[in-house]
Structure 1
Amino acid sequence: MVPVSGGAGFACDGRRPVVKLFKEAALEVDNRKLDEVSAASIISQLGMDSVAQMELVSWFEERLRVRIPDEELQKIRTISDLRDVLARLLPPGTQIAA
């Protein structure tokens, strides 16, 4: 787990790892069930168009009550990258799993 700052309403303690959250977000915003996803999965290769990818970002921002700056968005290629960006944005002491 990576220590991160945490937004209200989000368990960043390993109970809801980012891969699980990503699957939940994909199903909710793109009606896409992702079975074969890992922290190393490249987001752009998961079959979602750019609009769906931006909706995923909005989903995470809303759920975690953070804003992901454009310069941070450019760093996100994999689900692991997403976890790392969230780790930098969430309150100190919060933890998020891969």
Structure 2
Amino acid sequence: MKTILEALYHGKLQPDMTIVPSHPEYRSACKQVAAEIQQWRERLGEEVFLELEEYLDLCDSVNNMHVEAAFRHGFKLGANLLIEVIGDREALLS
């Protein structure tokens, strides 16, 4: 791929699949979440835990919608900032 647009068009660029947070506590928090999930599975039993999983999946879905909207908003904000800066270029040359 020669350009970002080509990569996007051909499905080669998927930031949501490749982003790993660089926060120092990210990996330990993930391990803690996995351990907690296992404890809940053992405490609740499989049937009730499946209901909890459905609820957690719904929460994930809502969170993903919010993250997508935030991404779109941030991208549009950045693009508009560039348009504003480039549009005011003549003022700098005067």
TM-score (norm 1): 0.26
Name which one, 1 or 2, has greater alpha-carbon Rg: 2
TM-score (norm 2): 0.27
The structure richer in helix per residue is 2
Structure scoring higher RCO (CA < 8 A, sep ≥ 6) equals 1
